[in-house]
Amino acid sequence: MTSRSTFDRELNDLKQDILRMASLVERSLFLALDSLLSGDPVAAREVITGDDAIDNLQDDIENQCIKLIATQQPMARDLRVIITGIKIMINLERMGDHAVDIARSAMCVCGQMPQKPLEKIPHMARLVQQMVKEGMDAYVHNDVEKARQMCMTDDEVDELYNLTFQDLISYMEEHPQSIGCVVYLLMVARYLERIADRATNIAEDVIYLVTGERQCLN
């Protein structure tokens, strides 16, 4: 084997940084939801301040990718590794922003949220977190099958989103005094649904990375 060791190491560094970014995003999402459900604003504040770290990693990853393209003129799989690296990084960054959105909503409703409408959220949240995790697992292991399966959960999330939406509307009709609070839950449901779409994008990126074929899964 020839003199690729530097390049291979740099590609590996890129992957490690993307995984690091993913774990920060997963953590933000967990904390934001935890804050919402428990009514504890401390976790929400941590998500908001922690977003800078995610953005910094994003810049790092982008610079690494630009440097690799400029210096290595990557071809074939190498090229796909870098291009999907950029795309996954962008999707992660948006997920991080949605986690911040959820954290902000959590802070707005902190201590005033009635228990009943909140019950709609955990199931959807669990599915979405699972999708994010499985998307990154598929990336770690170049696992096309896992990427495909994960996308099926997206249909479930969409359905759940529609149900939640209906339920929350009915709840607000019955409890107009809670509208100011519950409307934030509508938004949270929407953010979760968006995160699931981003996770599906990542699954598509993994499939392209491994097979070279583009597939639309949502």
Partner 1 sequence: MEVNVENKFVVQNLNLFYKDVQALRSISMEIMKQQITALIGPSGCGKTTFLRVLNRMNDLIEGVRIDGTVLLDDQDIFGPDVDVVNLRKRVGMVFQRPNPFPMSVYDNVAYGPRIHGQKNKSQLDQIVEKSLRSAALWDEVSNRLFKSALGLSGGQQQRLCIARLLAVEPEVVLMDEPTSALDPLSTLKIEELLRDLKNHYTIVIVTHNMQQAARVSDSTAFFLNGDMVEFGPTETLFTRPKDQRTEDYITGRFG
Nearer to partner 1, 115 or 214 (CB): 214
Nearer to partner 1, 67 or 116 (CB): 67
* Range list of H helices, 39-75: 41-72
Minimum distance, C-beta of residue 142 to partner 1, in the bound complex (Å): 14
Q: Which of 63, 119, 170, 212 forms a contact with partner 1 (CB under 8 A)?
A: 212
DSSP notation for 108-127 = HHTTT--HHHHTTHHHHHHH
Q: Which of 174, 176, 213, 216 forms a contact with partner 1 (CB under 8 A)?
A: 213
- 10 in contact with partner 1 (CB under 8 A): no
Minimum distance, C-beta of residue 68 to partner 1, in the bound complex (Å): 13
Burial (Cβ within 10 Å: 0-12, 13-18, ≥19) of residue 29 = buried
Angle at 84 between CA 191 and CA 55, to 5 degrees: 50
- 78 in contact with partner 1 (CB under 8 A): yes
- 75 in contact with partner 1 (CB under 8 A): yes
Helix/strand/coil for 171: helix
Q: Which of 74, 148, 171, 186 forms a contact with partner 1 (CB under 8 A)?
A: 74
Q: Which of 3, 173, 177, 216 forms a contact with partner 1 (CB under 8 A)?
A: 3
Minimum distance, C-beta of residue 69 to partner 1, in the bound complex (Å): 12
DSSP code at position 3: S
For 19, residues 6+ apart whose C-beta sits below 8 A from its C-beta are 136, 139, 140
The 10 Å Cβ neighbour count of residue 9 is 10
Exposure class string for 12-28: b at 16+ Cβ within 10 A, else e: eebeebbeebbebbbbb
- 52 in contact with partner 1 (CB under 8 A): no
**79-98: which residues touch partner 1 (CB under 8 A)?**
79-80
Nearer to partner 1, 7 or 165 (CB): 7
Residues that bind partner 1 (CB under 8 A): 1-4, 7, 73-80, 211-213
